[in-house]
């Protein structure tokens, strides 16, 4: 099928960017032809892109082309939009003047809509696309509606979370524009049933047109056979966290005379290294962890309060005491130093600093004051946690190619978010790697856990009432099973992910829906 797709951004740096990249790769791999409008500056560096154009009104400039190994095609067009890049959440983009949508003037917004609509019309005429797929609820559907008026070409709209959460729900103007664009869509596609429900809350009149299309896992990259611990030895050097920061943390816990002094010390440590790269000795410490005895539990994700890693540390203390497990924490975020301090305080029985950290709560990540949620200090926890800091490693962020070589070494994974999630993509990546993932029982995490856990004799979603206690129990029961039985469960979650959540499955379903929209 020949599809035109709109996406106003790049191929990396955010969940929706990576989503569009992998969706287009899967479509090209299935023999379809995709004409994608986006602002990726170097699309030919991606293996599935055949050609790169700039489009200004009706004028096309070829910037490069080449052959790819895929049976289908993907042609990328960069619309000329005048150097201003509107975004949902402010960030820096080299070469662009950036403003959030909420900060755009009326003139700037109309210019953005008009230029993109003109580009869509030009690419539609040039490509002969049979259907259009938009990404984001603002402004993609509205652009498609204006560009396709009178053509008879249908469009489907994929709704990612940020545009509704950070723009439409904060502005009547943008909520009205989102509604206007989505009203013309043949189908509105949500990334999970939870997300479909939130869309229906905002647009109840469109609920019958909204369906869940979960998935988006690279099951070729994430697979049990990808395990390659030796390749991780090269994770060394750079500007990440290192021994000096660990020493500074220990000193801060020894010498801080109160909560304010402790918080200031942790902030100073966080500012002393580049949080977005792996630790300088990550490879060495990962190797040591993998070589030690006992089952391995892994967490991958942001280190912020809402992700619930503090709850995982509390649960892990009990798990380690009963199973001899080790914990590997992969990720970065403003809460890292608070979590590192919490881990050391638990392991050393430092009640004074535990009370300080629990009191500081979300201040530790730069947020408003408030206690740690789903975290309670008790004598039982302190007894179980003795020495646990020696079996917990925080190593900073690892990216997909590195993660794929590491995850199959884990005996269990945990996604303990205490706030709603659109979908549990990390849980699906763990499962694709043959790792049984336990998830918090809410929002899109519940759906992910239910899908990958089909056929298991136990539930992967863990109830939020007494969450740390329930999570510890689920992990202890699983890790105490015979290895042969756990290996069978590894195969089940892998098979479920490939069957239901792989990119090929998602791309195939999208094409079915596009063909269905043509017939309406």
User: Could you tell me if 255 and 210 lie in one domain?
Assistant: no
263 CB neighbour count, 10 Å cutoff: 22
Tell me what the mean pLDDT of segment 333-339 comes to: 95
Q: Is the pLDDT of residue 282 over 90?
A: yes
CB-neighbour burial class of residue 74 (10 A; exposed 0-12, middle 13-18, buried 19+): buried
Cis before residue 139, ω within 30 degrees of 0?
yes
User: Could you tell me if 210 and 252 lie in one domain?
Assistant: no
CATH number of the domain encompassing residue 404: 3.40.50.2000
Q: If you average pLDDT over every residue of the chain, what do you get?
A: 95
User: Could you tell me if 347 and 466 lie in one domain?
Assistant: yes
Would you state the pLDDT for residue 166? Answer: 86
User: Could you tell me if 376 and 510 lie in one domain?
Assistant: no
Domain containing residue 194: 2-216+503-518
Would you state the pLDDT for residue 8? Answer: 93
User: Could you tell me if 382 and 325 lie in one domain?
Assistant: yes
Q: Is the pLDDT of residue 422 over 90?
A: no
Smallest Cα–Cα separation from 514: which of 87, 114, 4? 4
221 lies in some domain: no
Would you state the pLDDT for residue 26? Answer: 96
User: Could you tell me if 317 and 443 lie in one domain?
Assistant: yes
DSSP 132-170: EEEESSSSHHHHHHHHHTTT---EEEEE-HHHHHHTGGG
Gap between the Cα atoms of 184 and 6, Å rounded: 15
Position of tokens 């002094």? 261
Q: Is the dihedral of CA 290, 293, 295, 301 positive or negative?
A: negative
**Which tokens in the block code for residue 479?**
């890790």
Would you state the pLDDT for residue 369? Answer: 78
Gap between the Cα atoms of 336 and 266, Å rounded: 9
223 lies in some domain: no
Tell me what the mean pLDDT of segment 41-70 comes to: 97
Q: Which pLDDT band, with edges at 50, 70 and 90, does 18 fall under?
A: confident
Tell me, what DSSP letter sits at residue 298? Answer: E
Tell me what the mean pLDDT of segment 356-368 comes to: 89
User: Could you tell me if 197 and 247 lie in one domain?
Assistant: no
CA dihedral of residues 476, 482, 484, 485 (deg, nearest 10): -60
Of 143-152, 289-298, 364-373, 429-438, give the lowest mean pLDDT range.
364-373
222 lies in some domain: no
Tell me what the mean pLDDT of segment 491-500 comes to: 97
CA dihedral of residues 189, 192, 195, 197 (deg, nearest 10): 90
Gap between the Cα atoms of 133 and 416, Å rounded: 33
3-state secondary structure of 101: helix
From the CA atom positions of the chain, what is the Rg in Å? 24
User: Could you tell me if 204 and 342 lie in one domain?
Assistant: no
User: Could you tell me if 283 and 236 lie in one domain?
Assistant: yes
Tell me what the mean pLDDT of segment 1-26 comes to: 92
371 vs 115, 131, 321, 362, 364, CA distance in Å? Answer: 48, 50, 26, 7, 10
152 lies in some domain: yes
**Which tokens in the block code for residue 298?**
């892994």
Would you state the pLDDT for residue 370? Answer: 85
4 vs 34, 134, 148, 229, 253, CA distance in Å? Answer: 6, 8, 11, 41, 56
User: Could you tell me if 177 and 269 lie in one domain?
Assistant: no
Listed in sequence order, the residues at least 6 apart from 379 whose beta carbon sits closer than 8 Å to its beta carbon are: none
User: Could you tell me if 242 and 203 lie in one domain?
Assistant: no
In total, how many domains does the chain have?
A: 2
Q: Which pLDDT band, with edges at 50, 70 and 90, does 367 fall under?
A: confident
What b/e readout covers 399-413, taking b as 16+ CB neighbours within 10 angstroms?
eeebbbbbbbbbbbb
DSSP 350-407: -HHHHHHHHHHBGGGGTS-SBPPTT----HHHHHHHTTGGGGEEE-----HHHHHHHG
Name the pTM for this structure. Answer: 0.85
Gap between the Cα atoms of 355 and 352, Å rounded: 5
Give the distance from CA 507 to its chain's centroid: 19
Gap between the Cα atoms of 502 and 492, Å rounded: 15
Give the distance from CA 338 to its chain's centroid: 22
184 lies in some domain: yes
CB 159 within 8 A of CB 141: no
CB-neighbour burial class of residue 427 (10 A; exposed 0-12, middle 13-18, buried 19+): buried
358 lies in some domain: yes
272 lies in some domain: yes
User: Could you tell me if 73 and 115 lie in one domain?
Assistant: yes
- Phi/psi of residue 478, each to 5°? -70, -45
Position of tokens 């998935």? 215
């Amino acid at each position: 099928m020949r599809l035109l797709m709109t996406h106003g951004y790049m191929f990396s740096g955010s969940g929706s960017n990576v989503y569009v990249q992998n969706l287009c790769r899967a479509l090209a791999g299935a023999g379809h032809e995709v004409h994608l409008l986006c602002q990726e500056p170097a699309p030919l560096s991606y293996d599935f892109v055949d050609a790169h154009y700039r489009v200004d009104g009706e004028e096309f400039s070829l910037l490069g082309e080449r052959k790819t190994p895929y049976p289908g095609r993907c042609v990328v067009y960069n619309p000329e939009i005048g150097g201003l890049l509107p975004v949902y959440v402010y960030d820096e983009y080299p070469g662009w003047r950036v403003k959030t949508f909420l900060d755009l003037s009326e003139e700037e917004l109309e210019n953005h809509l008009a230029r993109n609509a003109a580009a869509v019309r030009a690419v539609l005429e040039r490509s002969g696309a049979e259907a259009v797929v938009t990404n984001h609820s603002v402004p993609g559907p509205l652009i498609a509606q204006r560009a396709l008026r009178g053509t008879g070409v249908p469009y489907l709209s994929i709704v990612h979370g940020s545009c509704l959460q950070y723009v439409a729900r904060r502005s009547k103007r943008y909520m009205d524009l989102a509604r206007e664009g989505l009203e013309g869509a043949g189908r509105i596609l949500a990334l999970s049933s939870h997300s479909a429900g939130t869309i229906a809350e905002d647009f109840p009149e469109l609920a019958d047109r909204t369906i869940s299309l979960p998935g988006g896992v690279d099951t070729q990259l994430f697979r049990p056979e990808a395990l390659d611990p030796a390749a991780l030895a090269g994770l060394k050097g750079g500007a990440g966290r290192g021994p000096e920061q660990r020493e500074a943390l220990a000193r801060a816990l020894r010498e801080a005379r109160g909560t304010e002094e402790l918080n200031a010390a942790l902030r100073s440590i966080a500012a002393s290294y580049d949080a977005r790269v792996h630790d300088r000795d990550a490879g060495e410490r990962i190797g040591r962890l993998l070589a030690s005895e006992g089952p391995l539990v892994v967490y991958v994700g942001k280190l912020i309060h809402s992700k619930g890693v503090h709850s995982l540390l509390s649960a892990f203390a009990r798990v380690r005491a009963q199973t001899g497990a080790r914990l590997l924490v992969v990720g970065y975020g403003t809460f890292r130093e608070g979590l590192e301090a919490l881990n050391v305080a638990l392991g050393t029985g430092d009640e004074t600093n535990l009370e300080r950290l629990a009191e500081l709560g979300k201040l530790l990540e730069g947020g408003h004051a408030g206690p740690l949620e789903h975290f309670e200090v008790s004598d039982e926890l302190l007894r179980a946690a003795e020495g646990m800091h020696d079996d917990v490693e925080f190593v900073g962020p690892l990216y997909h190619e590195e993660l794929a070589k590491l995850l199959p070494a884990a005996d269990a994974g945990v996604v303990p978010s205490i706030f709603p999630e659109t979908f549990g993509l990390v849980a699906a990546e763990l499962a694709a790697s043959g790792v049984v993932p336990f998830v918090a029982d809410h929002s899109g995490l519940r759906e992910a856990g239910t899908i990958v856990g089909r056929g298991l004799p136990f539930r992967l979603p863990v109830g939020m009432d007494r969450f740390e206690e329930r999570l510890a129990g689920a992990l202890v029961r699983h890790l105490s099973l015979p290895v042969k039985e756990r290996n069978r469960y590894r195969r089940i979650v892998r098979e479920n992910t490939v069957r239901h959540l792989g990119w090929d499955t998602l791309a195939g379903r999208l094409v079915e829906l596009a063909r269905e929209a043509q017939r309406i």
